[in-house]
Structure 1
Amino acid sequence: MSELWPYSLTWADVDPSRHPFDLDEHAAHRLAVLVVPLLPDASTIDDVSWPLTAVTEFLVQRYGQWACGWNWSIGEGDLDGGVVGAWCCAAHTVTTPEATAPLVVEALREWRSWLDELRQRFIDLAPPTDVPVASVDPWHWERACTRLVTMVADRTEAESGWYGHCMQVLHWFLASHGISEERAEQIVEKAVGGRFDSWMAPDATVVDEVSTRFAQAISQNP
Structure 2
Amino acid sequence: MADDGLRHLLETWADVDPARYPFDPVEMSVAVRTLVPPPPPRATSGDGGHAGWSEDFAWVESVSVLLSDRYGPWAYRWHWGPWEREHVGFVTDHIPAPADAPTFVADSLLAWRRWLESLAERFDHLLPSVDPTRAAGAADVVAAWEAAVAQLMAFAATPAVDNDGWQGNCSRTLQWFLTAAGIPSEEAQAVVDRALERFGWWAPLTAVEIGEVADRVARDAVSPTGIVPAGRIDNWPDTWPHGWPSWRATNTGWGAGHPSDRGHSA
Aligned CA distance change for structure 1 residues 185 and 38 (closer, same or farther; 3 Å): same
Maintained 8 Å contact 1:93/1:100: no
Map of 2:171 onto structure 1: 167
Maintained 8 Å contact 1:158/1:198: no
Map of 1:37 onto structure 2: 37
Aligned CA distance change for structure 1 residues 204 and 108 (closer, same or farther; 3 Å): same
1:46 aligns with 2:48: no
Map of 1:157 onto structure 2: 161
Aligned CA distance change for structure 1 residues 106 and 41 (closer, same or farther; 3 Å): same
> In structure 1, what is the Cα distance between the partners aligned to 2:89 and 2:35?
18
Write the letter of the residue equivalent to 1:121: R
> In structure 1, what is the Cα distance between the partners aligned to 2:69 and 2:143?
41
1:118 Cα deviation (Å)? 0.8
Maintained 8 Å contact 1:60/1:68: yes
1:208 aligns with 2:216: no
Aligned CA distance change for structure 1 residues 185 and 90 (closer, same or farther; 3 Å): closer
Structure 2 residue runs of 5 or longer lacking an equivalent are 45-50, 226-266
Maintained 8 Å contact 1:42/1:91: no
Maintained 8 Å contact 2:171/2:192: yes
> In structure 2, what is the Cα distance between the partners aligned to 1:100 and 1:115?
23
Aligned ranges 1:54-133 → 2 under 5 Å: 54-72=62-80, 83-85=82-84, 88-126=89-127, 127-129=129-131, 131=133
1:159 Cα deviation (Å)? 4.7
Question: Deviation digits for residues 18-59 of structure 1, max 9, x if unmatched?
Answer: 1111212xx243123124434323348611522322111110
Maintained 8 Å contact 1:41/1:95: no
> In structure 1, what is the Cα distance between the partners aligned to 2:116 and 2:161?
17
1:150 Cα deviation (Å)? 1.2
Identity %: 29
1:169 Cα deviation (Å)? 0.8
What SS does the corresponding residue of 2:172 show, helix, strand or coil?
Answer: helix
Aligned CA distance change for structure 1 residues 20 and 91 (closer, same or farther; 3 Å): closer
1:203 Cα deviation (Å)? 1.2
Map of 2:223 onto structure 1: 220
Maintained 8 Å contact 1:70/1:111: yes
Map of 1:78 onto structure 2: none
Write the letter of the residue equivalent to 2:205: P
Greater length-normalized contact order (CA 8 Å, ≥ 6 residues apart): 1
Maintained 8 Å contact 1:160/1:199: yes
Paired positions, count? 209
Map of 2:25 onto structure 1: 23
Which structure: greater helix fraction? 1
Structure 1 residue runs of 5 or longer lacking an equivalent are 74-82
**How large is the Cα RMSD of the aligned pairs?**
2.7
Aligned CA distance change for structure 1 residues 102 and 212 (closer, same or farther; 3 Å): same
